[in-house]
Chains A and B, each alone.
Chain A
Amino acid sequence: MLSERDGAEMIVAEQKPLEEIRKLIAPYDRVLLLGCGTCVTVCFAGGEKEVGVLAAALRMAERIDGRDVMVSELTIHRQCEPEFVGEVRDKLGDAQAVLSLGCGVGVQAVAAALPGVRVLPGLNTKFMGETVEPGFWREACLGCGNCVLDLTGGICPIARCSKSLLNGPCGGSEGGRCEISKDVECAWQLIYDRLSQLGRLDLMEEIIPLKDWSTAHAGGPRKIVRPDLAKLT
């Protein structure tokens, strides 16, 4: 049976420290904490439950400091889609600021939908990643716009090698660990092991040529426009 937390999330985030959040909301007396029901719910950073816990912590901390702050709570299905963000406008009430516990995309989409309202980030958005085990998430994709996973045994060297090397491993790979830390796996050792297992080490003999980074952020902010879908709406 699936619980609400099950499923493969994409964007992994973590909450900013409470003191930082308190500084962000310090100018306001009435704040709406806005959760998001998708990625950040799955990674326990900004779902309905985290909104409740943070709201309680803020109310208590502000009360101890003698400040009377109204903290209201709302969690919507997805902050990154206009279809769901409309609900915030309806339920905003007299809040002067929204503290979004969505990812960076959510914060921006909510801000765009609420002209004249301060929308503040309550999370630090970390990466696109996978759940390795409960409580352990790992970066897996940098969104470079030109996938090479076919060449690297399904392990991404751009996201998982500290130097994004395409012809690794470098000379700092030791015992399967990266030179930057014994806590970091060497992506190219993983690629080597995987291709070895698949009998495809020949792929590692080929030079992967200079990468075209224009499909990544280096080419400027990216967008995808699908006229075929636009017509449907």
Chain B
Amino acid sequence: MLAGSNLERLLESGQFVVTAELGPPKGTNQKVVARKAEQLRSCCDAVNVTDNQTAIVRMSSLSVCILLKQIGLEPVMQITCRDRNRLAIQADVLGAVGFGIHNFLCLSGDHQKFGNHPTAKNVFDLDSIQLVQTLVGMRDKKKFASGDDFNGEAPVYVGAAANPFADPFEFRVIRLSKKVKAGASFIQTQPVFDVERFARWMEMVRQRGLDQQTHILAGITPIKSAGMARYMRDNVAGVGIPDSVVARIEQAADVKEEGVKIALEAIEEVRKMPGVHGIHIMAVGWEDIVPVIVEKAGLMPRPAVSAKQ
């Protein structure tokens, strides 16, 4: 075991894993976190905490992860390269490990232009691949990025993201291989709306044998409204939501029900694909739908969490 987290144990034991995203509140109220956490507690194996998602300032990823840990959930701490340099990131990782947080997801981060501080200066001291390298180096060499030593161990389980729906398509698997080479043990993809494109990408992943070297979790996002579907199609780069999916949502008598149905179909399809070792549900702002989706997908109950950490 690299880090001994529940997520690592489940993935290494070959179980089909379910993780879900929790967006921290834009405010100071911890009760909001606790309420969302309770909705996710029994239906997923680990909870991903976003890091100033879409460049909007929120309660920090680290503090929400600590909170989840304290109430008995397994967090995955997201870290973006946008807001912090290598000093700040490594400091947060030391602190997180000290609090028993062992799963980390390394991301570039959305550009601040989209957020609530568009006039800010971004950091990008590291990119997401270098961030994976840095965390893996802290774990395996017990050294900071600079080569300097620190006291204690950093048993971290390091993941990264992949977007099979961005361009250039042929490069997407090369980028994944770089993340794997850097030491990413698990990969979360952007939400799968275009199942056919995802299948082609998975085929390329298998051709390179990457499915044998990392655990791929397919991203799932239930669409809540026709407006959301259109917005993602027209305004968010790299989402790849096909017109046919938007049309289904637009024509549905019950939009939310259709959104769940599309998500369930995607889950069914990705589960059949060799090399997909789990799903990652991103229902930010609609956390209460996650248990419904996991239940309907036939993925309940989740395996019991081992008390050993």
Contacts and interface: CB of A to CB of B under 8 A. Distances in A.
Interface of A: 162-181, 186, 189, 192-193, 201, 204-205, 207-211, 213
A205 B174 contact: yes
12 contacts: A162-B113, A168-B127, A170-B127, A171-B108, A178-B237, A192-B168, A204-B171, A207-B178, A209-B130, A210-B126, A210-B130, A210-B133
Contact of B86 (A167, A169, A210): A210
Given A179-B237, A210-B86, A167 B167 contact: no
Contact of B171 (A174, A179, A192, A208): A192
B111 interface: yes
B82 A174 contact: no
A165 B124 contact: yes
A120 B181 CA distance: 53
Nearest to B177: A205
A179 B111 contact: yes
Contacts of B264: none
Given A172-B166, A189-B167, A179 B124 contact: no
Nearest to B189: A171
A169 B178 contact: no
A188 B175 CA distance: 12
Given A163-B127, A210-B134, A210-B145, A171 B190 contact: yes
B133 A209 contact: yes
B130 A205 contact: no
A170 B167 contact: no
Contacts of A181: 113
A167 B178 contact: yes
Contact of B168 (A166, A189, A209, A213): A189
A179 B127 CA distance: 16
Interface of B: 81-82, 86, 108-111, 113-114, 122, 124-130, 133-134, 145, 161-163, 165-168, 171, 174-175, 177-178, 181-182, 190, 236-238
Given A204-B171, A207-B182, A210-B145, A166 B163 contact: no
A174 to B, nearest CB: 4
Contacts of A204: 171, 174
Contacts, number: 98
B133 A172 contact: no
Contacts of B128: 165, 167, 170
Query: Could you say which of A172, A192, A204, A211 has the most chain B C-beta atoms within 10 Å of its C-beta?
Result: A172
A210 B236 CA distance: 29
Contacts of A180: 111, 113-114
A41 to B, nearest CB: 31
B238 to A, nearest CB: 5
B167 A207 contact: no
B111 A162 contact: yes
B145 A173 contact: no
B175 A177 contact: no
Nearest to A179: B237
B82 A163 contact: yes
Contacts of A168: 127
A193 B236 CA distance: 23
Contacts of B81: 163
B108 A163 contact: yes
Contacts of B125: 211, 213
Contact of A172 (B129, B174, B238): B238
B159 to A, nearest CB: 14
Contacts of A174: 166-167, 237-238
Given A179-B111, A204-B171, A205-B177, A165 B127 contact: yes
